[in-house]
Amino acid sequence: MKSFYFVIPFIILLVRCKQRNSGELLAKEKSQSSSKLSPSPLNSEFKNYWFDGNAELTSFELEQARYGEIRKGRAVIVFVSEDFSKSRYVKLDYPEKQADDRVKVLKFNLNKQFVTGIYDYALMQSVFTPLDQVNYPNSLRVTTSNIEWCGQFLTRVELNNQNYDIHYNSYFDGEENKKIRLKKNILEDEIWNQIRINPNRLPQGIFEIIPGILTQELVHHDLKVEQASGTVIQKGNTTVYELIYSSIPRKLVIEFESVFPYKIISWEETFETVKGWGMESKVMTTKAKRITDTKLDYWERKYLKDEVLREKELGL
């Protein structure tokens, strides 16, 4: 089964007359007038949706591959626009006072919760991608946390000129207080924001990419630049983005609505599970399917009386 993921990208390579090898997220622009995936970003429709003072919250039924078995759980994705610091990589509370350091980003928060045997897992990832993709073509920061009863694994990734600096802080032996540097490249983790900002600029063809950081941590695989191919597939009212790696057994498939605001419907992530502790690695697939979505200023809904919104608005 593993060989399936290695063979397909080479078939794609043979039928293409050129190999695309890009270090930026920006794929070759398709004409907005001829594309079904419109409108252009930052027009009035875009601003009315993303600058309304609310976040978009979406709940998902989760089937998470872990320790060679599929675990039932829930996932919540949060998308929200924010004013972000280019130098300190934090949300600006007073952006009007820091105009030179201010950049508008779309923040993607992925939250997963599931149980393995007797104990809980809580996974979270945040990705900060500028809306101005001409002047800021690469995401500025990614943070992840992997928390379970054995311990914690925390990672932050920050753009530093032509590189991404990656800082690990982990409970696990050999992964504590480690720092590596990778050449600036496409991040798999920014694909989610790219869909919501402008799916016409999704990377297609053959290219280099840094794989999903949260999953690479979960299975204790070294993070490095890999080779992959990207394909956009139109399916009527929905669109599928398919990312297949040739250098590692990994595949990501995200289905989203074909019209603005391009809401996420489902995703599947195939990867090689962890080896060790009495287990052999094998290729498995994590799946998530949308329950419902809503727009809310969730940061203001923090009181006991607001708990009813978890079921009423998100079906949790």
Q: Which regions in the chain score pLDDT beneath 50?
A: 1-36, 38-39
The strand ranges marked E within 67-162 are 69-85, 102-116, 119-130, 141-148, 151-160
Q: For position 33, what pLDDT does the model report?
A: 31
What is the pTM assigned to this prediction?
A: 0.86
Q: For position 276, what pLDDT does the model report?
A: 61
Of 72, 74, 70, which Cα lies nearest the Cα of 60? Answer: 74
Q: For position 221, what pLDDT does the model report?
A: 84
Pairing of strands 55-66, 69-85: antiparallel
On whether the CB atoms of residues 253 and 267 are closer than 8 A, the answer is yes
Residue 86: phi and psi, rounded to 5, are: -75, -25
Q: For position 252, what pLDDT does the model report?
A: 98
